[in-house]
Amino acid sequence: MALCGYLIMCNKLIFNIYVFSALKACQEISIKNDNFLSSSCHLYSIFTLNKDQNLDMPKQIKIPNPRFNLKSHKDDSEETLIVLVYRYQKPSTGEKIRIVYSTGEKVVPKYWDNKTLAKVIRNHLDYSSLNDRLQDLGRTAKSIFQDHQFGEISAEEFKSELGLRTGKRKPDQILPKGHLPFMEFVEQFVNERMNRYNSKRGTWKILQTTLNHLKKYSEDRGQLLDYEDFDFNFKDDFENWLYQPKRHHSTNYASKMLSVVRQFLHEATRRGYNTRMTFAQKGWSIKKEKTQKIVLSFEELGVLYNLDLSNDLKLDRVRDLFLIGCYSGLRFSDFIRISPEHIIREDGVEMIQLFTKKTDTEVVIPLMPELKAILRKYDYRSPKAISNQKLNVYLKDLFKVAEFDQDVLLKKSVGGQIQEVVKKKYQLAQSHMARRSFATNFYQLGIPAAHLMLITGHSTEKQFFEYINLDKIQNAKTVAKQLSILLRFHRNGHSEEK
């Protein structure tokens, strides 16, 4: 027995010496002939000697197996995208890398198994060829791993190579090594906008909110989003995710979030990081729903104007701030900062002239009697400002005192579903109602939209008409009023001619 053990040990020692010598020889030959290294010396990459144990048996590097997962399990009867997941570790740094790659293939979840892949049934005989394509893609992933020194390749380079070998990406579309993955790019882009010299919180805040949603979505879906993921499947799944419990966002909110994602992708494309243009196709958007815009009529503004608030100085100041907005058409950020320097006079006409905070647009507004009376009360300055949030709270109290308690039927989108709710008008009070009331009331008086847009700062008529509250009946009344005036002038003209 002792002799047998001795012989085994000797054989093991001879084998290790033989392998070690062969590998060293391969290294020397490879210096003279690079092709020889890629073929004959492939053994050197596979076998390594354990340095902690002298001349121990060589250790073989394990090639990771790919996995195929479904992008969504929400509906077992609706087709969903299949993604390739490939995990490996970089030998040089020990960095653990996880690849998530869209296969472009779809399957009905109830016919799927993570181990056996798609189940071939009578209604889906094509699933057999689908499985073949997935297995081919898996072999391609393993081949890339081997061809790059068993994992010496970054996640982005790996995906780019997959795209090249599967024909999804042309050779000239391979992205440079220095490009940023999508989520890293968005982080950088948002930080750039936040730190710009003329940065406005209202501008970058929506970018930050969208980024946070994308992070949470990635976490929930178990994958890190990258450029090739932004197809129509993502668009539908992201929209549904925004509607799901805990979020229950409206259709218009989802539309805004997706439009910001498009903004990210446009900028990434402009900078050369993205080449997939699905997001620019027609239909890669969410149609907005028309919302009801609550406004106050001139009669209701008159009720507020004449309200005796001498015993409540807080509501008195709130009322005056709100009416300044109603008679000027300015946003909250502008109607709280009017000062004597903004008052100009030309040809006997007094006006307010300022540059808006949000868009840096010059607006010139006629100083109407009601507006002038309120400003004169404060030496042609806006009353002492309060936050927009507090103003919205106090406005509800003010409207209640004014007895604006009529029922208002609202259509509200919750989780993408339209619901009807009834609320009192005072419950809907908010500062932005002032600007909407200005645009609606003066348009109904017959002032052309083009003239009002110079005051409100809207750049297109489409924006302006989306902004005002004018239903078909009100529109007909407005047209009738304007026609009556025109016909009166027309008849008077004919009478003078006679």
- Confidence band of 12 (pLDDT split at 50, 70, 90): very low
Q: For residue 42, what pLDDT is reported?
A: 41
Tokens at residue 334, please?
């502008």
pLDDT digits (tens, 9 = 90+) for 108-161: 888 888 777 776 555 666 777 888 888 889 999 998 998 888 888 988 888 888
CA distance 267 to 247: 27
Q: Is 198 in a helix, a strand, or coil?
A: coil
Q: Which range has the worst mean pLDDT, 51-60, 147-156, 369-378, 470-479?
A: 51-60
Q: For residue 176, what pLDDT is reported?
A: 52
Q: Which range has the worst mean pLDDT, 31-35, 92-96, 146-150, 229-233?
A: 31-35
Q: Which range has the worst mean pLDDT, 178-187, 207-216, 244-253, 323-332?
A: 178-187
Q: Which range has the worst mean pLDDT, 115-124, 325-334, 466-475?
A: 115-124
**Averaged pLDDT, 422-444:** 93
**Per-residue CA distances from 323 to 46, 86, 226, 316 (Å):** 80, 62, 49, 11
Q: Which range has the worst mean pLDDT, 71-80, 323-332, 382-391, 432-441?
A: 71-80
Q: Which range has the worst mean pLDDT, 24-33, 234-243, 385-394, 418-427?
A: 24-33
pLDDT digits (tens, 9 = 90+) for 173-205: 545 555 789 999 999 999 998 888 777 777 789
The domain made up of 298-473 has a fold known as hpI Integrase; Chain A (1.10.443)
Region at 423 (left for phi over 0; alpha for psi -120 to 50; beta for the rest):
beta
pLDDT digits (tens, 9 = 90+) for 260-318: 999 999 999 998 899 999 999 999 999 988 888 899 999 999 999 999 999 999 999 99
DSSP 108: -
CA distance 401 to 225: 52
CA distance 335 to 224: 44
Task: Note whether 344 and 361 are within 8 A (CB).
Answer: no
- pTM value is 0.58
**Residues pairing with 424 in the sheet:** 407
**Averaged pLDDT, 160-180:** 67
Closest residue by Cα to residue 160 from 187, 139, 179, 185: 179
Mean pLDDT, all residues of the chain: 82
Domain boundaries, the chain: 2-60, 67-173, 182-280, 298-473
Q: What percent of the chain has pLDDT over 70?
A: 80
